[in-house]
Structures are given as structure tokens and as C-alpha cells.
Amino acid sequence: MADPPTVEQLLRDDARMEKDLRRIQRYVKEELFQKVVFLFNPKKQMECGSQLYNDFIANCKALIAQTGEADDTMDAYMRYLWQVMAQKKSYKEWLTAKRSNTYQAVQDKFLSK
């Protein structure tokens, strides 16, 4: 049985990181969006310790964790992913794009009547 990966190994695995970010994106667009569609404030919510950050840790960790990985390793990896997404503004972009599409659909329904 192979040893679980270290934080350094996870941070150097670009393919895994991309795969994990796609899983997180799917979660944000399909599940999280409905919870925060009218409450999202990017200035406050993109900080570590915010409600979005806590939701990210609670829900996305289970999506990307693999068998045998130590909790402290995954915690460090999750913090790193959050920083990457915050720096690239990915989380905000995913929520904003979904919100814009939803508002457009609602507006189209009202205009069509």
C-alpha cells in the first residue's frame, strides 16, 4: 500500500488540482448557488473563516478527498485551493455567472407574458 501524499505532492500535482477545481466548480454552480443567490457579498465572503469558506471546507473536502489522505494534509490543500480560487476570482465568477443566467431567465419569463 502506497503512503498517502504529502501537501507538497498535492500542490505539485497540476492534473489533480484541475480535476479538483472542476468538482468544486460543479458544486458551486449546482448546489451552493441556490443557497446564496441573493446574499453573496464578495468583499466579505471570500475571506478565510467566512460562511462561504466554511461551506467550501465542509462540502468540497468530501468531494475531492481520496482514501488514505491525512486530515492535516487535506486541510492545507483545501486552504491552498481556496487561495488559488480567491486570487483568480474563480468562486466569485462561478457564482456571478450562474446568478446572471438565473436573473435573465426570470426576466425573460416576465417579459414573455
Distance CA 48, CA 77 (A): 14
Which residue ranges make up each domain of the chain?
7-108
- pTM value is 0.58
DSSP 29: I
Which set of grid coordinates corresponds to residue 104? 435573465
Intervals of the chain under pLDDT 50: none
pLDDT of residue 58: 87
Give the dihedral sign, CA 62/65/68/74.
negative
3-state secondary structure of 109: helix
pLDDT of residue 62: 86
5 CB contacts (<8 Å, ≥6 apart)? 13, 69, 73
pLDDT of residue 14: 92
pLDDT of residue 105: 60
